Structure 1
Amino acid sequence: MSTWLIIEEETVTADGLASHRQVKARTVSGNKTREEALVELHKAARNYDSDSLKRGSTVVGRDSDGSFWVLPKNGKVHASCNLRLIEQIRP
């Protein structure tokens, strides 16, 4: 079985200035199949929380490539996060 990583890529734009991007990677625990890792990705998207997105309610959607987007529901917060699953090919 493969080792899987969940990538969280958050982008924040403050006051119309240049965007700040933060990328975090975490290993999916256990020796899981791709399908099991996708379940973990879905859980991570549903439960995603960050300081940038705390000020308002969010909506979570799945993109056509299987990744998830966490977006502000009201559009007042200029932040978004894309969560996706990748296979780790070397430690």
Structure 2
Amino acid sequence: MPTWLILAEETVIAEGSASRRQVKVVRTLKGNKTREEALVELHKEAKNYTSDSLKRPSTVVGRDSDGSFWVLPKNDSGHASCNLRLIEQIRR
């Protein structure tokens, strides 16, 4: 029975060219979910997710070819991006 994690990887470009990257677990999906069922949950989370650095500007959400989602500022109105992805947790 896999445990799936929805991660948010946020990158913020500060003054100049320096950037800060932060990764956090947004949600843990436990239970007997297949990868396809977990991807449905990722899609729901992506539609409603607002990262800390993207609270003010309006955003657009898009799906990448690998199944992850990008939350980006709309109309070039910010210097941050957030990638939401699904990973399977491996226990040791």
The answer, yes or no, to whether TM exceeds 0.5 is yes
**Counterpart residue number, 2:48:** 47
Runs of 4+ residues deviating >3 angstroms: none
Contact 1:11-1:22 within 8 A present in 2 as well: yes
1:76 corresponds to: 77
Contact 1:56 1:74 in 2 (8 A): no
The structural deviation recorded for 1:32 is: 1.4
Q: Name stretches of at least 5 consecutive residues in structure 2 with no aligned partner.
A: none
CA contact (8 A) 1:46 1:60 kept: yes
Which residue in 1 is equivalent to 2:2? 2
Distance 1:29 1:46 in 2: 20
Report the counterpart of residue 89 of structure 2 in structure 1: 88
Return the structure number with greater helix share. 2
Shift of 1:29: 3.9
Q: 24-33 or 40-49: which moved more? A: 24-33
Give 3-state SS (helix, strand or coil) of 1:74's partner.
Answer: helix
Equivalent residue letter for 2:6: I
Instruction: Give me the whole-angstrom Cα distance separating, in 2, the residues matched to 1:9 and 1:90.
Output: 21
Residue number in structure 2 paired with 1:23: 23
Identity of aligned residues (%): 80
How many residue pairs were aligned?
Answer: 91
